[in-house]
Structure 1
């Protein structure tokens, strides 16, 4: 029985419906100005609606063919020449896979790129396709006296633009969605003229011309109304608001199901009453009210999210607010999963497609794809929905295993709760908790405060009052330190005798005077040494040993080696230089020894190929008669200053000695650039004074090691090294400092 809605409720629904739908001529489904092509539309010419539908409905893709010529006017605006009549028109063009447009190539490419981007954006944000290829247009007038022609599309094919990688442009193909009637036009004609625009009933052999015949029966009754069957245009058309407009018609709902629904009444005019029947009280602990066996969460949920999930499961109406990233989508996924587990059906709606996809992806990832049916997405067409239903029904035949009781979960929860309780329980009579103390420690660590170094045996029993007294004592101690200075540097830091007899006091003064004079002399000697090294005055005992060690390390440098010593003191890789110099020295020794047997040319050739045949001659008498051995011997003889040895072993030794010279040459040759940079003008290649430089390098390495803590400049080190008094300074410092 249909109960008549109250006038106030009907007025509220009527006002809401009027705000939803636009049946005026600003709606492109009610009126399209096909002469204006400046918007996101592409007009198609020289095509027939039946042929275009047949090609696209078969699943084929069609390409666009520009017939015009681009004209560049007014900066970046691209215009195209209209094509005239073609007297030699070939009717085979109707059935090819090309959609002809009067635009030029550049203008068409720009239009298609913009349309493809706008279509993709609209689908990603709204979840619906609004790109259609309109087949056939009807011309109508708002009244008999009007001279303004209105044009509206009749058949709209849902299409999409596909990027053609070969041509770098876009092709068009039909989407797997149902064709629907032009609903806004149908509503407008019904309201203004009482005309009923027929519904689209697409069958297996259906053609747009069949629908045009039905519409033409209506149009023929109106003066000046007509149908252009082969007018085709690609553009954007939206039906979504009109579908909502129809759903909110309270007269089409039986038994007042819409206006009497408790949610509709609560949202629109009655409101919701606040109750005190909340599941969780302000002081209730979540784990006490919600045991693990009652929890059904498929993704992680914290305490606040768990409360929302349980309130929703109990049937309460609530609004959940929170900034991005606070877990609203996980909460919704848990609510849907819990409702499905209880045998309920959930309709999840959102303004943006992205919100739907986030929740759907979460459910799919946890294995709940079978409970989801997408009604508002790219895949929500009739064929795919039916296949999804079939797959889900088949999967439902399997009986899943019943999981065991969550005893392990409850045990882990109780263990974690015990840890949390221990962290927040008072420590003895201190009034403090472990959690609070950890927080204070973290604060001090954040302030980069140094950790205490005193004994902490009594800290566990220390309350705030005792702590305050200890802090006051530490402040007094800090003030005393500030006044007296560092205890480690105090002149009496090692004194343990604090009670002296008069006789001891009388003996102490001369000892202190003597010690002061010795320290003054040591300070003077040390300052002289520091001045010679170019270092700041120190006067502290901790500099005595490093300065003495450095002064002794400076010995052994001749005055003529000063410039080379300065270069070597600046070397950053002493080990590398030492190895290179040692290789050079050994090379020179080996080469000088080999010069007694070989001519100079022998040191420039590679004799590695001679070794194998000569080695064979040491092992076999017959090998020495072979051509390889005799050729190798002949080549070796040409490099010797004397006659070729008769023994094969001696010949091998000669080759090995020359190969050793070559190996050592290659060894220091790999470091030639490094040596040239480090030694400067002292580097002369094979004529380098290897032994002399190696001796200075050993001195520089010793000095650099002793200078590591003092960091004196090379100029001061060299000038001090060649001074006569350097050894006297070292001995004097050692004598004054004592053993």
Structure 2
């Protein structure tokens, strides 16, 4: 057909659009026109309209004639062997599509020895092939391709074309040939492997459907031919000849051809054309055709599917007849189907789409719903049909997609099911209750096992799985104490991660744990620079010990062992340096102190002092060299010093006596008594001569009285005066005695003879100095040197004083320096001490504040471990985290067990998770039974109950369906079915039979399985279904599905958009490839699946992949095409000769 005429036909189809005021309806009508037009191929490509021989796909039956061929077809025709000839078949075996006009007889030119020339005596079908090889090749191709098409799509494409109409369009010069009748045939091999031609079983003869449509388009009345019985070819030929007689250049020929005639969608075209208004009014068609613009209520298409986690509550398994196993996503789809919802059931390969459809059909039949199951692929329909047959529901399925669609077969099947009742019952009530109880217990157990527990964020199943992995890794097991349970129970996911990280930190800082108290940095607090503090302490201790080693008089004094000893030594030296002159401090440790001391001792003829006291004595001697008063030279001799001491004692006594006598007389007498020479005589006269009364009258008395008065202080007489004269005389005598004694000791005492108490004090001081010198110089070798340096009257020498000053400066400098260093050590040791915690301080105080050796050992140990602070702080930080969660006890126990440090995180994880799991098992009542044996028994019981439920499910469906079946067959639709089944021939067409018996058929066959083509062929427009289900919807075009969609209330579309698109085998020749958007042009989709997903139908995905025996078989597809959306299962075996996928490179060599 030319493109201009096709465009005109399309315009005529859409002539009603302009009258509608609804834009959405107009778009839908335009979409329907497009769908309808795409069903037909009225071009020259259609072999039903323009038959041409090809090299291998067609055969011309040249003998016998049509009536003979059809008469004996049931017995099976074999093909006459070709003896071989030299003639050529003309263009028959030329290029594809080449050929001559049917009027020319070049198709039948044979050699004189060919089978055609001997047709009268050859028994078999004679074709145009002139070699046996070409004939065999054609028969092979016809048989292979027809079988493949039937297996894939359920379409029979191998037909005998009986009678040929030669026609042409008005004005066309080219003539086309179209077969009148199509007789279904099949090629079989007999016992001798010879190909024979038989009638196809289950198929009926038909008029050429494309020819009727085409002639109707051309305005030719073909009704008289279409009304002829296909069983009478002669009548069909006669009627055709009568019709074409009126057409110029048309003719009818009694040819018989064998070929593949593929396009039979004319019935679908007629269906969409005749039921246009019904289709346009259907909401599901609007949803498919218009998508979001359909204007349908939200609750008609949109819905919220049951929650997967609550599917057991929403759809009780015991009350829903699932005839096959179903996972939660499959049951979600089944629940939506039972709720009357329309949706897309998407599922990658192996996710159980056909299994779900089987369950869905059974469940729908159980609730009294009728189902139309449609697929382009016969294999997809057969899979579901076989599954239903396998569970005993095959009798309730009407398969009208393959070889069982003949009138006789359909009537016979309906009569068989009508009169034969399947006897089976469902499960008893107590079995259902037991199954429910077991399910609830196991579901509760499973829910408890898989419930995400907060705050940990894991399920018990995850935790136990992790514990198994840890156990398989031979992780040492350490149990936590009961005190940790509460803390572990409140453990969060982040806290667990922090716990494991802390355990990792501890494992990387293992020495504190392994060494325990021996780890020198143990107890370190969070100081910022412990090594700096340690360096300061080490330097201070070294400096202090260096000062102690360079102490004065080290040979005779023990080395200080403690700070206390240092301070004691300083105090001892400071005691010998009572007058510390800051100007004398040298400011450091004098290294020449011994030399100075030796030099000073040499000046005095003394040995070098080795002890501090001796040195201090030497310094005293040096000080005397510059003293204003020094002992006389005689005193440097031992005897002279003794004499001086005796003289001093005598003078001390004399001074004492003089002082006593003076004290006794001083109150009455004056100093003049010391000069009175007559005082002794005067005392004698008063004591003897002047006694008595008359003696006082003498002149002598009067003279003596006057002399006595002159000696008094006041110049007056006192009766006691005579008696007191003895006191005056005693005073005079003691003074004279002292003077005499002082003169006597003048030589012994030198210039230090005392005349009064003050001078006596000076004498005592000088004697003390002399005694001290004598004490200090007992070992003097050259006393003359000593006398020359220290004796009174010698020339002063400044050198001893200077040397003494330097010695004192060195001693004072050492004392000050060592004091500063002691203070520095005290401060730095305290700082080092304070770096640690309280318990460690107690231990360190005995050593750090003990002897220098002990402190040095501690400092050396600390310095020997420069990375210890970092390691301890990391260890302590990790331990603090472990302690906060009560698992720090694991570390010392791990040390005791000899656990490798790198395994500590696994040990901690295992202990914590085990404690968490044990607590959960003890507190969650759903996990009351955890013994493997008990659970295995319970699982086995449930499995048995579940198997019983599955078996009983089909029984429940059968039982319900049996209750609906008619019990009386004597009249009505049941009687029609029985009558048609009894007929031997002239059966009622399937379409009419189903129309007249639909009430009964719906009861006994609630499920129809059909291809889109057979739906239009066999079902009246008003044959209604509750649900239509499409399988492999990615391979069904919207145009092929509309005839099914409008016959149902709900639409379920199953498929995988990643699968192959619909076949173009039946596509029309004209397509619109424009990419520009036009709001008046309906959207086009490649498949029904895409159209429904774009039409706002809810998508319910199937994600569990079951088919692959090994995960590798689906891994690539899952990752590359499905975005890892499928849940796959590892195989039972990882490796094996027949497991998984393996690449075998072939060592091929390119050979031209």
TM-score by length of 2: 0.37
Query: How big is the shift at 1:191?
Result: 1.4
Residue 265 of structure 1 pairs with residue 286 of structure 2: yes
In 2, distance between residues paired with 1:148 and 1:234?
Answer: 23
What residue in structure 2 maps to residue 642 of structure 1? Answer: none
Change (3 A) 1:335 1:25: same
Pair 1:427–1:473, CA change in 2 (3 A): farther
Q: Aligned equivalents of 2:137 and 2:505: distance in 1? A: 79
**Higher relative contact order, structure no. (Cα contacts within 8 Å, ≥ 6 residues apart):** 2
Contact 1:183 1:239 (8 Å CA) reproduced = no
Alignment of 1:522-541 (within 5 A): none
Note the C-alpha offset of 1:374: 0.8
Tell me if structure 1 keeps the 8 A contact 2:181–2:233: yes
Residue 326 of structure 2 aligns to a residue whose secondary structure is coil
Matched, 1:53 2:62: no
The Cα of 1:475 is off from its aligned counterpart by 4.5
Choose which of 107, 112, 125 in structure 1 pairs with 2:139. Answer: 112
Query: Relative to structure 1, is the Cα distance of residues 52 and 69 closer, same or farther in structure 2, using a 3 angstrom cutoff?
Result: same
Instruction: State the match for 1:333 in structure 2.
Output: 358
1:294 aligns with 2:319: yes
Matched, 1:403 2:427: yes
Q: CA deviation at 1:382?
A: 2.2
Secondary structure, aligned partner of 2:186: strand
Structure 2 unaligned regions, length at least 5? 1-15, 21-25, 96-106, 516-1152
C-alpha offsets along residues 234-291 of structure 1, whole Å, 9 cap, x if unaligned?
A: 1111343211111101x456xx432212222222232655449846455862222222
* Separation (CA, whole Å) in 1 of partners of 2:451 and 2:182: 71
CA distance in 1, matches of 2:270, 2:456: 71
Note if contact 2:62-2:256 (Cα within 8 Å) is conserved in structure 1. Answer: yes
Is the CA contact 1:65–1:101 (under 8 Å) kept in the aligned structure 2? no
Kept in 1, the 8 Å contact 2:76–2:196? The answer is: no
Contact 1:53–1:207 (CA under 8 A) maintained in structure 2? no
Give the drift of 1:442: 5.4
> Partner of 2:41 in structure 1?
22
Equivalent position of 2:1071 in the other structure: none
Q: Give the secondary-structure state (helix, strand or coil) at the position aligned to 2:148.
A: helix
For residues 410 and 416 of structure 2, the distance between their equivalents in structure 1, rounded to whole angstroms, comes to: 10
2:184–2:199 contact (8 Å) kept in structure 1: yes
The CA deviation at 1:153 is: 0.8
Distance (Å, rounded) in 2 between the aligned partners of 1:432 and 1:223? 86
Give the 5 Å matches for 1:615-634: none
- 1:661-700 alignment to 2 at 5 Å? none
- The counterpart of 2:184, out of the listed 158, 171, 188, is 158
Q: For residue 186 of structure 1, what is the aligned residue in structure 2?
A: 212
Q: Is the 8 A contact 2:78 2:195 kept in 1?
A: no
2:159 matched to which residue of 1?
132
**Alignment partner, residue 170 of structure 1:** 195
In 2, Cα distance between equivalents of 1:102 and 1:72:
9
| Structure 1 residue 451 displacement after superposition | 1.2
Q: Residues 183 and 471 from structure 1, CA distance in 2 versus in 1: closer, same or farther, beyond 3 angstroms?
A: same
Q: Is the 8 A contact 1:82 1:102 kept in 2?
A: no
The superposition leaves residues 31-78 of structure 1 with CA deviations (integer Å, 9 ceiling, x where unpaired) of: 113xx432511122132000001111x3434334335448999xxx99
Could you give the per-residue CA deviations for residues 615-663 of structure 1, whole angstroms, max 9, x where no partner exists?
Answer: xxxxxxxxxxxxxxxxxxxxxxxxxxxxxxxxxxxxxxxxxxxxxxxxx
Q: Which residue of 2 aligns with 1:103?
A: 130
Q: SS state of the match for residue 324, structure 1?
A: coil
1:343 corresponds to: 368
CA–CA distance in structure 2, aligned partners of residues 85 and 381 of structure 1: 44
Is residue 81 of structure 2 the alignment partner of residue 65 of structure 1? yes
SS of residue in 1 equivalent to 2:344: coil
Change (3 A) 1:291 1:323: same
1:386 CA drift (Å): 1.9
- Partners of 1:41 and 1:233 within 8 A in 2: yes
Question: What is the distance in 2 between the residues matched to 1:305 and 1:337?
Answer: 14
Q: CA deviation at 1:390?
A: 1.7
3-state SS in 1 of match to 2:380: helix
Secondary structure at 2:252 match in 1: strand
In the alignment, structure 1 residue 420 sits paired with structure 2 residue 446: yes
> Which secondary structure does the structure 1 equivalent of 2:196 belong to?
strand
Question: CA separation in 1, counterparts of 2:167 and 2:81?
Answer: 31
Q: Secondary structure of the residue that 1:296 maps to in structure 2?
A: coil
CA distance in 2, matches of 1:433, 1:245: 58
Corresponding residue for residue 703 of structure 1:
none
Please say if residues 160 and 259 of structure 2, whose CA atoms lie closer than 8 Å, have aligned partners that are also in contact: yes
Measured in 2, the distance between the counterparts of 1:337 and 1:409 equals: 20
Match of 1:373 in 2: 398
Return the alpha-carbon distance in structure 2 between the equivalents of residues 25 and 199 of structure 1: 22
2: CA distance, partners of 1:70 / 1:456:
98
Shift of 1:154: 1.0
The answer as to 2:31 corresponding to 1:12 is: yes
- Work out whether residues 62 and 98 of structure 1, in 8 Å CA contact, stay in contact via their aligned partners in 2: yes
- Contact 2:77–2:197 under 8 Å retained in 1: yes
Are 2:473 and 1:453 equivalent residues in the alignment? no
Equivalent position SS for 1:401: coil
Partner of 2:238: helix, strand, or coil? helix
Change (3 A) 1:457 1:69: farther
Distance 1:149 1:443, change over 3 A: same
Matched residue, 1:488: none
Cα distance 1:426–1:164, how it changes in 2: closer, same or farther (>3 A)?
Answer: closer
| TM-aligned CA deviation for residue 128 of structure 1 | 0.7
Q: How many Å apart are 1:474 and its aligned residue?
A: 4.5
Q: 1:293-333 CA distances to partner (integer Å, 9 max, x unpaired)?
A: 43221111111111111111111111111211111111111
Cα deviation, residue 358, structure 1: 1.5
Q: Tell me whether 414-423 or 154-163 shows the greater mean CA deviation.
A: 414-423
Distance 2:120 2:250 in 1: 31
DSSP-derived class of the 1:66 partner: coil
Alpha-carbon offset, residue 473 of structure 1: 4.4
Instruction: Tell me what 1:511 maps to.
Output: none
Q: Is residue 2:44 matched to residue 1:44? A: no
Whether contact under 8 Å (1:68, 1:83) holds in the other structure is no
Alpha-carbon distance between aligned partners in 1 of 2:511 and 2:450, rounded to the nearest angstrom: 34
Residue 460 of structure 2 corresponds to 434
* Bigger Cα Rg: 2
Q: Aligned partners of 1:426, 1:221: CA distance in 2, in Å?
A: 84
Does residue 238 (structure 1) correspond to residue 262 (structure 2)? The answer is: yes
Structure 2: distance between partners of 1:305 and 1:311: 10
Task: Report what 2:173 is aligned to.
Answer: 147
**Aligned-pair CA distance for 1:120:** 1.4
Q: Equivalents in 1 of 2:87, 2:296: separation in Å?
A: 64
Q: How does 1:451-490 map to 2 (within 5 A)?
A: 451-456=474-479, 458=481, 461=485, 464=496, 472-477=505-510
TM-score normalised over the length of structure 1 = 0.56
SS, match of residue 195 in structure 2: strand
**In structure 1, how many angstroms separate the alpha carbons of the residues matched to 2:368 and 2:205?**
34
Between the aligned partners of 2:445 and 2:401, the Cα distance in structure 1 is 47
Match of 1:219 in 2: 244
Number of equivalent positions: 460
Q: What SS does structure 2 have at the residue aligned with 1:439?
A: helix
Q: Distance in 1 between matches of 2:134 and 2:263?
A: 29
Q: 1:211 to 1:340 in 2, by over 3 A?
A: same
Q: How far off its partner does 1:399 sit?
A: 5.9
1:208 aligns with 233
Three-state SS of the structure 1 residue aligned to 2:374 is coil
**Structure 1 residues 474, 454: closer, same or farther in 2, change over 3 A?**
farther
Matches of 1:358 and 1:16 in 2, distance apart?
Answer: 29
